[in-house]
Each structure stands twice: as structure tokens, then as C-alpha cells.
Amino acid sequence: MSNSAEEDNPYSTLPINRIRMTPMGDWMGPASHLALERDRLRKLRFDSFDHRLVGPSLGAEISGIDLSQPLHEREVNELRAALCAFKVLIFRDQAINSTQHVEFARHFGQLETHPFIPSNTNHPELVRFEKSDEIAGYENTWHHDVTWRESPSMGAILHALEVPELGGDTLFADMHAAYEGLDPEVRERIDTLSAVHDYMRAFGHTVAPAEAEKMRAQFPEVIHPVVRTHPETAQRCLFVNKVFTREILGVSPEESDELVQYLGSEASCPEYQIRVRWEPDTLVFWDNRAVMHYASSDYWPQRRVMERASIIGDRPA
């Protein structure tokens, strides 16, 4: 039996040789901390479906399961385990309707209704994003969904109905890998910090003046840890994004701004990402607690039509 974590790590003797151009600039060199997670994920097996790894620390394409059919408890439990492990699950050729979409999502918890993006389907829990030459996409920035809620989404399930010939991909970034890739001094600095999240940064312009006071009472500013602990895996994940994180508490305004920009930008590291190329009836289920996402807005004026169901999560801790 090994006597230390270093002896348990087959990569502990490899040189890291990772450097930064500036104290808070981009890394250069190998993201060697991904090796253990890559090897752990490669060993996973499931009885209810097959899977293929997409990235070294996140992402799996799932096959051998039909989401249009009722799921057994074992299948649901294994899909939940896979979501926690891979953080992003990709299903191809799932010709489900809106009712089946909602029923699938309900296996994993109570569903959200979004106060600023009203449903335009027959299901209040299902939001349709319909982009065209008249309505462009503005989701092309790294973010977690609805962190301005006291209990942000556990996850979201997005179904592609109509996709452009080229473009419109969605990128996902592993925020546990991003946290582990920080300098130890930075991790120590941020581990006990909290941040204010506010819907006004993104949705304030959509609220009519007569409704502003009512909406603020319903959705006050919330405080979440800068680094949250995943409730099912215990992994530590960065939980700061430039869309909804207004400020970091306990530091100067200048340091707050710098940290929000710096930590929010860690998702842009390609080593932490996967990129999903959408096809009709592709369905993606992501763990909002552990990843940020970015919808590439490079397909205008072509059409892109998606439907999303989001699952209510826990209060970050």
C-alpha cells in the first residue's frame, strides 16, 4: 500500500515545466494535472449504455439508449453517475418531442421556469431559442446558467431542432480542471472568498420600469462561494462568470474586478474544453455545477432552433 499521495500518482515524477507570461497571464506548457482525471474516466463502464470519451477531463458521447422511451431506475441512476463523472453527456439521433424532452429532464429533479426568457412552447419548463436573420444569438460568452438564483441550475438539457450548415457549436469548459490548474497561491487566496451574483448584469434591460421593484424583491442579489464544492463528487470548481458575477467580497474593488476577469477567463483555456458540433436531434445534458458553456454566434443569418429544459439545483457551498 502506498504511503503518500505522491506514490499513488504515476505522473508525480514528470516535470511540469508550466509557466506564465505574467502573474495572471496565460499558461504555457503541459496541463499535466489532467492526466489522472483522464485515466480515471477511461476506466468507467456502464451497463445501460455505451460511451466514448470526447475530452481528457470532460465529455462523453452516449449511445445504446433511446430517450424517447420510458427509462428504468437503473438507467436514470447510471446517467446521473455519468453526468457527474463526465460533466457533459452528448446523445445523437434522439428524435424526441417536447413532452418527451420534459419527461426525460424530470427524472433528474424539479424543472425551472425562467422569469426573463419565457417559454414559447406548450411546456412552461421548456424554453425555445430560435435564432435567425432577425434574431441573433447573444450567448457567446462563458457562463454558468442562472447563478443569480439562490439555487442555480443543477444541469440543463438542450435539444437541437434545426441547426445551420456550419457554425453554432457550443463549447464547454471544465471548471474543476480550471481550479486545479491555478497557482497554489491563487487557490489559497480565493478558497474562502464569496461573490455577489445579480441578474441585472444580463437581464436588467428586459425588465419594464414598472416591474423592476417586484422583480428585485423576487430575485435579490445572492452571494455564492467563488469556489464551490460539487455536492455529489466533492470536486472543487470555480464558480465565477463575467455575465452574472458582479463583485467579489472582502477585497478592494480593483482586486475584485481583476479576479472576476481572471477567474472568468480560465474557461477559455482549450485544454479544459470540448466543442459540440450540433446535428438535428443531438441532445446535450451538462452539469451546470461543474462546467461553463459558450454558444458560438458565427452562423448569422442562418437559423438555429434549440429547446432547453433546466433542472433546479442546490445552493452552492
Q: Which residue has the cell 506514490?
A: 7
* Distance from C-alpha of 180 to C-alpha of 269, rounded to nearest angstrom: 13
Which domain does 305 fall in, by range?
Answer: 34-317
pLDDT at 107: 97
Partners of residue 174 on adjacent β-strands? 291
Could you tell me whether strands 88-91 and 60-63 are parallel, antiparallel, or unpaired per DSSP bridges? parallel
* Distance from C-alpha of 268 to C-alpha of 37, rounded to nearest angstrom: 19
- Tally: H helices and E strands in the chain: 9, 17
Report if residue 5 sits inside a domain. no
Q: What is the pTM of this model?
A: 0.91
- Per-residue pLDDT band for 268 (boundaries 50, 70, 90) equals very high
In the residue annotation, 52 being an active-site residue is answered as no
* Model confidence at 273: pLDDT above 60: yes
In the residue annotation, 26 being an active-site residue is answered as no
Report if residue 253 sits inside a domain. yes
Catalytic hit among 123, 144, 149, 308? 308
pLDDT at 191: 97
- The mean per-residue pLDDT over the stretch 272-280 comes to 98
Number of domains in the chain: 1
* Distance from C-alpha of 147 to C-alpha of 220, rounded to nearest angstrom: 12
In the residue annotation, 308 being an active-site residue is answered as yes
Catalytic hit among 101, 143, 289, 304? 143
Catalytic hit among 51, 159, 176, 293? 293
Report if residue 14 sits inside a domain. no
In the residue annotation, 143 being an active-site residue is answered as yes
pLDDT at 117: 74
Report if residue 18 sits inside a domain. no
- Which phi and psi angles does 270 have, rounded to 5°? -60, -30
Report if residue 255 sits inside a domain. yes
Catalytic hit among 145, 174, 198, 287? 145
pLDDT tens digits, one per residue of 112-123: 988 777 777 789
Whichever domain contains 137, its CATH number is 3.60.130.10
- The mean per-residue pLDDT over the stretch 205-224 comes to 75
8 A C-beta contact, residue 123 and residue 99: yes
Report if residue 26 sits inside a domain. no
